[in-house]
Amino acid sequence: MYPLDDKLLAAVHALPKIELHRHLEGSLRLSTLVEIAREHGMEYDEASLRPFVQMMPEETRNAQHFLAKFLTLRQFYRSLDIIARVTREAVEDAALDNVQYMELRFTPKALCNFTQLPLHVAVELVCDTANEAALAYGIQVRYIISMNRNESVELGELALKAALQNTHRGVVGLDLAGDEANFSALPFRALFQKAKAEGLFITIHAGEWAGANSVWDAVGNLRADRVGHGIHVLEDPAMVNVLVEREIALEVCPTSNYLSGIVDHLEEHPLIELTRQQVLTTINTDDPSICNVTLSEEIARAIQYMSLTLEEVKSYTLRAARTAFLPRAEREALVRHFQGLLATV
Ligand SMILES: [Zn+2]
């Protein structure tokens, strides 16, 4: 699927990068999953396990198949050790890809189904483990707590509480994910109001599997600071203007959109058009393991198949720094840091 030029990939790999939209539950190594399965008496190898956790080239690309991988991946969080291991490896994998600042999001409930941990303890475990790994690998990591719109608001409240209890560990934001086509974001409005009042940044998955109206719910009603995906906003020029005027960034994930059937061909992906219309766009992987993609590969594909240039990639990275969920002074320091790094490559 969309093979890459080796030299181009090496050039992108050498760039310091920022990832704003990556799900921990979509960032598990296949080799680790095989080991975990074997420890639980299931004899898989990478080839036989792969179709259950990764979109395959011959597979019908749609939301149902894509989300089914998540359901399988959530079966793997069987113990505290496993949660710690996959967290550590997710940070390590990002660092090895030369990602130097990452906002990692996760759904605490997904980590607690088997372990029965209270949500705030799961958040504590992920943050402590990732912070330790971040220090070891020289990458800066912050955390966004996700909840699903197809689950209850009461569960969302518990997730928010767990987020607020862990801001000192690096939790900076709250996210709404899940089935956008069939579930409104509006029942979560009060909860996101509270999150904002408490100082958390807000990002909402919207305009991915639903249209521009869904982006309005995210920005107008839930006061999102950034929008996950948001690519269907192009259907409504007035909504595009809202994003531009309010400087709401989109966390765009092209390979994920291709694999979940939102675009038929990567060449037709609206990333470049959104940027041309002055929307603050950033490039992200969403789920590296489900999509079998690194951030370097994601960016290299945008260059090879979507007419982005290597020089333009730097402006995408600086936009990501400017829209990072950090307090103003830290955000400005991050921008300056990346300006310095990018000036030398
Ligand atoms: Zn996502």
Q: Which residues are CB-neighbours of 128 under 8 A, at least 6 positions away? A: 169
**Does residue 66 lie in a domain region?**
no
**Does residue 57 lie in a domain region?**
no
For 220, half-sphere exposure in the C-beta direction (CA atoms, 13 angstrom radius) is 11
Q: What is the pLDDT of residue 345?
A: 86
**Does residue 337 lie in a domain region?**
yes
**Does residue 89 lie in a domain region?**
yes
**Does residue 301 lie in a domain region?**
yes
177 Cα to the center of ligand 1, angstroms: 7
22 vs 16: CA distance, rounded Å: 17
Query: Is the Cβ–Cβ distance between 150 and 142 less than 8 Å?
Result: no
Could you tell me the pTM of the whole model?
Answer: 0.97
Q: How many domains does the chain have?
A: 1
66 Cα to the center of ligand 1, angstroms: 11
242 Cα to the center of ligand 1, angstroms: 22
Please report the beta strands in the chain, taking only residues with DSSP state E, as ranges in sequence order: 17-23, 99-106, 140-148, 171-177, 201-206, 226-229, 249-252, 280-283
**Does residue 59 lie in a domain region?**
no
> Which residues of the chain carry a pLDDT beneath 50?
none
Residue 208 appears among annotated catalytic residues: yes
Query: Is the Cβ–Cβ distance between 313 and 15 less than 8 Å?
Result: yes
CATH number of the domain where residue 290 is located: 3.20.20.140
**Does residue 273 lie in a domain region?**
yes
Q: What is the pLDDT of residue 1?
A: 81
80 Cα to the center of ligand 1, angstroms: 24
28 Cα to the center of ligand 1, angstroms: 15
**Does residue 13 lie in a domain region?**
yes
Q: What is the pLDDT of residue 200?
A: 98
- Residue span of the structural domain in which 108 resides: 6-29+77-343
Tell me the per-residue pLDDT of 236-267, one tens digit each, with 9 for 90 and over.
999 999 999 999 999 999 999 999 999 999 99
| Burial class for 20, CB neighbours closer than 10 Å (0-12, 13-18, 19+) | buried
Q: Which of 124, 208, 297, 298 is catalytic?
A: 208
229 Cα to the center of ligand 1, angstroms: 8
